[in-house]
């Protein structure tokens, strides 16, 4: 994967009458990267993908592909391709006819079209005999693979994906997540993937761009966003989290040793539930708190506990389910963690 951006956005904006869907956006996507764009409903990610593939015109700014400005080029002239949630396959045509469709538009000879279709079937791990199978006879997972094969038949510079797995059942979705990641690695293509599912993004992508209200809130690898979010919004979007506002003091928290450093740097202290542990009667930690168990939930090998602090603040802890003698609702206990397991979000 090179360092030169294959795709670059400079101040890209989109407005609909008096509503601003996208505020000025800058982005660089590296050649061969798998970038996932994630955010809640209404954040602007679908509008963004429509601009990127040429289905909408930007209100301002520019889109560049390998140094060439493309936002003024019609969608059908751009070296990019989109895989839609609906897949947009021809249901009464064969798998082979669907895959060959873009090649037919380019007036590729029939023999070369078939040869390329069979290559793509092999790449997507579909049997060669599927070439003659009708789309309406294929399962949901098979149709997904055919849509990917058809997209690759364009030989695009970039593949854009608009929530292509969201309508599938959980088990098939998990299988195809891994297959998409594997396909990305085998083809070396650049993937830009829109999804509302953070889990999908974390499994597949090299980097995640989190959107909020028409802006990028943070762009970084999943591990960095999870451990060092730049805002409370990102911290909460990345899963269960405990946030403590330190602007008015440490409140429910007892800070000792390295934990004292947080008292001098006001902001929002983030502690992930899995970082907390139960402290013994004579045990201390750099950050500790007293709590009462409100409820417990089994998460396979882990137990999740809803707890209440003296101030009434609700927090969550996740502990390994090592035995049946764990805390029960109504129990009082002390929780703690190392200062290194926490992250200070310096925001107002």
Overall average pLDDT of the 257-265 stretch: 88
Question: Is the pLDDT reported for residue 248 higher than 80?
Answer: no
Residue carrying structure tokens 């202290």: 269
User: Which of 189, 199, 345 shows the shortest CA–CA distance to 269?
Assistant: 345
Write a three-state SS string for 179-235.
HHHHHHHHHCCEEEEEECCHHHHHHHCCEEEEEECCEEEEEECHHHHHHCCCCHHHH
Are 11 and 60 part of one and the same domain?
yes
Q: How far is CA 93 from CA 127, 130, 142, 149, in A?
A: 17, 12, 14, 15
Q: Which two tokens stand for residue 206?
A: 């090299």
Are 228 and 285 part of one and the same domain?
no
**pLDDT at residue 325 in the model:** 74
Buried b (16+ CB within 10 A) or exposed e, 214-225: bebbbbbebeeb
- Examine the fold and report which residue of 183, 215, 236 is the final residue of a domain before the chain moves on: 236
Q: Report the domain count for the chain.
A: 2
**pLDDT at residue 348 in the model:** 53
- Examine the fold and report which residue of 195, 221, 236 is the final residue of a domain before the chain moves on: 236
Question: Is the pLDDT reported for residue 1 higher than 60?
Answer: no
The C-alpha angle with vertex 152 and arms to 150 and 158, in degrees rounded to 5, equals: 130
Residue carrying structure tokens 């929002």: 268
Are 244 and 225 part of one and the same domain?
no
Cα(175)–Cα(14) distance, rounded to whole angstroms? Answer: 35
**pLDDT at residue 324 in the model:** 62
Are 156 and 292 part of one and the same domain?
no
Cα(118)–Cα(264) distance, rounded to whole angstroms? Answer: 64
Overall average pLDDT of the 20-37 stretch: 96
Overall average pLDDT of the 123-151 stretch: 90
Are 175 and 252 part of one and the same domain?
no
Beta carbons of 30 and 188 less than 8 angstroms apart:
no
Q: In this structure, what CATH number is given to the domain that contains residue 270?
A: 2.40.50.140
**pLDDT at residue 84 in the model:** 81
Are 197 and 333 part of one and the same domain?
no
Are 276 and 158 part of one and the same domain?
no
**pLDDT at residue 3 in the model:** 65
Q: In the chain, where do the E strands start and end?
A: 5-16, 19-30, 34-38, 60-65, 68-69, 80-83, 158-162, 190-195, 207-212, 215-220, 242-245, 254-255, 268-271, 277-278, 287-299, 302-308, 314-320, 332-337, 342-345
Are 80 and 178 part of one and the same domain?
yes
**pLDDT at residue 172 in the model:** 84
**pLDDT at residue 251 in the model:** 83
Per residue in 55-66, pLDDT (tens digit) is 999 999 999 999
- Which residue range forms the structural domain that includes residue 219? 5-236
Are 264 and 215 part of one and the same domain?
no
- Examine the fold and report which residue of 236, 267, 291 is the final residue of a domain before the chain moves on: 236
Q: Going by C-beta distance under 8 Å and a sequence separation of 6 or more, which residues neighbour residue 320?
A: 301, 302, 303
Are 323 and 211 part of one and the same domain?
no
Number of Cβ within a 10 Å radius of residue 143: 18
Q: Going by C-beta distance under 8 Å and a sequence separation of 6 or more, which residues neighbour residue 107?
A: none
Per residue in 203-234, pLDDT (tens digit) is 999 999 999 999 999 999 999 999 999 999 99
Question: Which residues are paired to 190 by β-bridges?
Answer: 158
Are 190 and 286 part of one and the same domain?
no
Task: Report helix, strand or coil for 136.
Answer: helix
Q: In this structure, what CATH number is given to the domain that contains residue 228?
A: 3.40.50.300
Are 90 and 19 part of one and the same domain?
yes
Question: Is the pLDDT reported for residue 2 higher than 60?
Answer: no
Q: How far is CA 190 from CA 29, 44, 133, 149, in A?
A: 8, 21, 29, 15
Per residue in 107-129, pLDDT (tens digit) is 899 999 999 999 999 998 899 99
Question: Is the pLDDT reported for residue 334 higher than 80?
Answer: yes
Number of Cβ within a 10 Å radius of residue 299: 10
Q: Which two tokens stand for residue 145?
A: 């693979």
Question: Is the pLDDT reported for residue 80 higher than 80?
Answer: yes
Overall average pLDDT of the 7-19 stretch: 96
């Amino acid at each position: 994967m090179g360092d030169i951006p294959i795709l670059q956005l400079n101040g890209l904006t989109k407005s609909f009458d008096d509503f601003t869907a996208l505020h000025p956006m800058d982005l660089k996507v590296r050649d061969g990267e798998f970038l996932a764009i994630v955010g809640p409903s209404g954040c602007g990610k679908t509008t963004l993908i429509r601009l990127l593939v040429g289905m909408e015109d930007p209100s301002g700014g520019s889109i560049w592909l390998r140094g060439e400005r493309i936002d003024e080029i019609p969608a059908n002239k751009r070296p990019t391709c989109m895989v839609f949630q609906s897949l947009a396959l021809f249901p009464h045509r064969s798998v082979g006819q669907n895959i060959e469709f873009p090649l037919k538009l380019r007036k590729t000879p029939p023999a070369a079209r078939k040869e390329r279709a069979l290559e793509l079937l092999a790449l997507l791990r579909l049997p060669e005999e599927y070439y003659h199978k009708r789309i309406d006879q294929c399962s949901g997972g098979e149709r997904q693979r055919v849509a990917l094969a058809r997209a690759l038949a364009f030989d695009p510079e970039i593949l854009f994906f608009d929530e292509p797995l969201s309508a599938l059942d959980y088990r098939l979705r998990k299988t195809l997540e891994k297959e998409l990641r594997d396909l990305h690695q085998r083809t070396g293509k650049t993937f830009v993937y829109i999804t509302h599912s953070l889990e999908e993004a974390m499994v597949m992508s090299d980097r995640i761009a989190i959107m909020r209200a028409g802006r990028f809130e943070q762009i970084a690898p999943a591990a960095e966003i999870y451990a060092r979010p730049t805002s409370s919004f990102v911290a909460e979007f990345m899963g269960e989290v405990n946030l403590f506002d330190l602007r008015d003091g440490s409140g429910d928290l007892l800070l000792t040793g390295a934990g004292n450093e947080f008292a001098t740097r006001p902001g929002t202290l983030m502690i992930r539930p899995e970082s907390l542990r139960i402290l013994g009667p004579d045990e201390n930690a750099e950050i500790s708190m007293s709590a009462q168990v409100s409820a417990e939930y089994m998460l396979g090998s882990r137990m999740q506990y809803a707890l209440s602090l003296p101030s009434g603040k609700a927090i969550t802890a996740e502990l390994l389910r090592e035995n049946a003698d764990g805390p029960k609702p109504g129990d009082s206990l002390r929780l703690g963690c190392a200062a290194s397991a926490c992250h200070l979000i310096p925001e107002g």
